[in-house]
Amino acid sequence: MPGSQWQHYLPEVYLRRFGVAGGEVWRYDRIDGALKLLPPRVIGAERDLYAQWDGRDLSQEIEKKWFSPLDSKYGPIVRKILRRELANAAERRHLANFVAYLRVRTPAAIRETELRLKQFDTEIGPLPKEWSCPPQPKLNSNDVFFVSKDRVDVVSRERSDAAVRNEALRLMITTGMQLAEALLSLDWVMLVAPRGRSFVVGDNPFAVVPQSSHEVDMGGIGPLSSGAVTFVPLDATICLRMGTVSLTRSGALDGAAVRAINECQVFNGERYLFGQSDALLKRLIGVGLGKGPNLAEVAFREATNPEDATLGLIHTFTKSKISPSHRNRLPLP
């Protein structure tokens, strides 16, 4: 197709940080079980992942004007961190942007958004083009709501039609900007792997770990959720930890802590796992890496008020793939 592009959801500059001396990266595929050493230019990417379709042509504006400039800033910042130098305010904001988009730019995240849009269309109906959100009604403690719709759908492995696809990409851009701003309010700690140990990265690297009391089937979890902690590997030797409360300032880890962080990448990923050691990936494969993709589940619940048909509540969330019990093995205070 004219204008078609191979587009990285894990930028090449990022993947190289998890590669061997020659630059290649080991990749494990959950579907066929293959473990291969491959160059970054051919992995962590999909064709026309960010392309918008207007019915006649593909637009690659998102890749050209958004992700290319964003990705170009990553290398100098991470090299500065590796030298144990503090990032300045501008660099910290650039890094927040890069990390935030690791949450929303992956194929799994985009298809998750597409599913949520289709759930709303099915259950609520499409919104008119000229629509604005009405003022939120005032609720009081005596209001009673009953669940009238409750569905859980598995994220598809296929992309949606052009209209849903384009809307999901628009939401990806706005959500990433909002998330980046929110991440700057969190407590950041750079965790350093001990000599002889390394971090891996999955195809959904923004891993949020729920608090111990979280009930996976009752609600979602995000980086701003109370007690949640987020781990994002930045390099084979460093991992960014973010939390809503002040965490221990020590970035030193032992081997068990590195393995627990790596297991978050296993649990949170959908299909691929990347690293600089085939032996390490083989050890991690035995931790919940069965054959087939690890697809997310998106819940949609609607509750209505039996006494007032104009009042209703909608609750939509993605179930956490990381068990709250895993928190006990992670480097937390």
Q: How far is CA 112 from the centre of its chain?
A: 10
pTM of the model: 0.92
Q: Report how far apart the first and last C-alpha atoms of the chain are (Å, whole number).
A: 53
Helices (H) and strands (E) in the chain, counts: 9, 15
Q: How far apart are CA 178 and CA 42, in angstroms?
A: 30
Give the pLDDT score at 288: 57
CB 54 within 8 A of CB 165: no
Give the pLDDT score at 244: 87
Q: What is the pLDDT along the chain (333 residues), one digit of tens a residue?
A: 557 899 999 999 999 999 999 999 999 999 999 999 999 999 999 999 999 987 778 899 999 999 999 999 999 999 999 999 988 999 999 999 999 999 999 999 999 999 999 999 998 887 666 556 666 666 666 667 777 788 999 999 999 999 999 999 999 999 999 999 999 999 999 999 999 999 999 999 999 999 999 999 999 999 999 999 999 999 999 999 999 877 655 557 899 999 999 999 999 999 999 999 999 999 998 765 567 899 999 999 988 888 777 777 888 999 999 999 999 999 886
Give me 150's structure tokens: 């409750």
Q: How far apart are CA 260 and CA 248, in angstroms?
A: 17
DSSP strand E in the chain: where? 6-8, 25-29, 35-38, 45-47, 52-53, 58-59, 146-154, 187-192, 201-202, 207-209, 229-233, 238-243, 272-275, 297-305, 308-318
Beta bridge partners of 230: 208, 242
**Quick check: helix, strand or coil at residue 56?**
coil
What DSSP assignment string belongs to 154-222? EPPSS---HHHHHHHHHHHHHHHHHHHHHHTTSEEEEEEPPTT----EESS--EEEPPTT--TTT----
Give the pLDDT score at 309: 72
Closest by CA position to 106, among listed 225, 274, 291, 240: 274
Tell me the domain boundaries of the chain. 6-127+138-329
Residue with tokens 């669940």: 147
Backbone angles phi, psi at 154, to 5 degrees: -85, 135
Closest by CA position to 269, among listed 199, 203, 201, 200: 203
Biggest distance spanned by C-alpha atoms of the chain: 68
Give the pLDDT score at 132: 61
Closest by CA position to 59, among listed 102, 7, 103, 12: 7
Looking at this protein, which amino acid is placed at residue 119? Q
User: Crossing angle of helices 89-104/107-123, nearest 10°?
Assistant: 60
